[in-house]
A and B are shown apart, each in its own frame.
Chain A
């Protein structure tokens, strides 16, 4: 099955700086890579995703890059703001029949310091 490793486990940045979180995956057949943001007391919320036919995707201050050869993908947050503070999870699909089962990374606690 899929193994997803996520680094770092904690990350502190100054407001306005950039934050980068990296994940590696093991299954070369994986073709969908979502990122989730989990705020305290809430469920994970999808913030951006990328499919394997593109190398980069941007949505305002958030971007995700994918390197299929190296089997890693990264989340980039620019001009960080205090409300970006949360736990971020990457995920990759487990190879199976028709369902999109996701294996999650261990999470990164991002703290944006004012």
Chain B
């Protein structure tokens, strides 16, 4: 298996623009998680899905952030409009039930200028 695949690896955008991050979980995994990592706040869970359904989005910082999972093999995290303080590395992870096989992708480094 190729693991959790994220794209793009790097994204540089101007403030106010829309940004879309993509994730392909490991085939067969029921759970998908989006994290944000910064030096100041460490790894923060933003939202997670179970069988494509959003279960807990309490970590999403504000309405500018939204996430979707239209099918079992694809999820997006969208920021609209983006702001400089959104600059971070965003990770996607997937797992089976009870955390079995909990695996992170390589991340997307987002820079908003």
Among the 9-residue stretches A19-27, A55-63, A67-75, A97-105, the one with 4 or more Cβ atoms under 8 Å from chain B is A97-105
A88 within 8 A of B: no
Which B residues lie within 8 Å of A101 (CB)? 33, 45, 48, 56
B1-42, CB under 8 A of A: which get 1 and which 0? Answer: 000100000000000000000000000000101000000001
In chain B, what residue has the closest Cβ to A96?
A: B56
Contact present for A99 and B42 (CB under 8 Å): no
Interface of chain B, main secondary structure: strand
Number of interface residues of B (CB under 8 A): 22
Total residues of chain A contacting the partner, CB 8 A: 23
Q: Which residues in B have their C-beta under 8 angstroms from that of A102?
A: 45, 99, 102
The 0/1 profile, CB within 8 Å of A marked 1, for residues 89-113 of chain B is 0010101011100111111000000
Residue of B56, B91, B95 near A44 (CB, 8 A) is B91
Would you give the shortest CB distance from A14 to chain B, in whole angstroms? 27
The reply to whether A42 and B98 contact each other, CB–CB distance below 8 Å, is no
Q: Is A12 an interface residue (CB 8 A)?
A: no
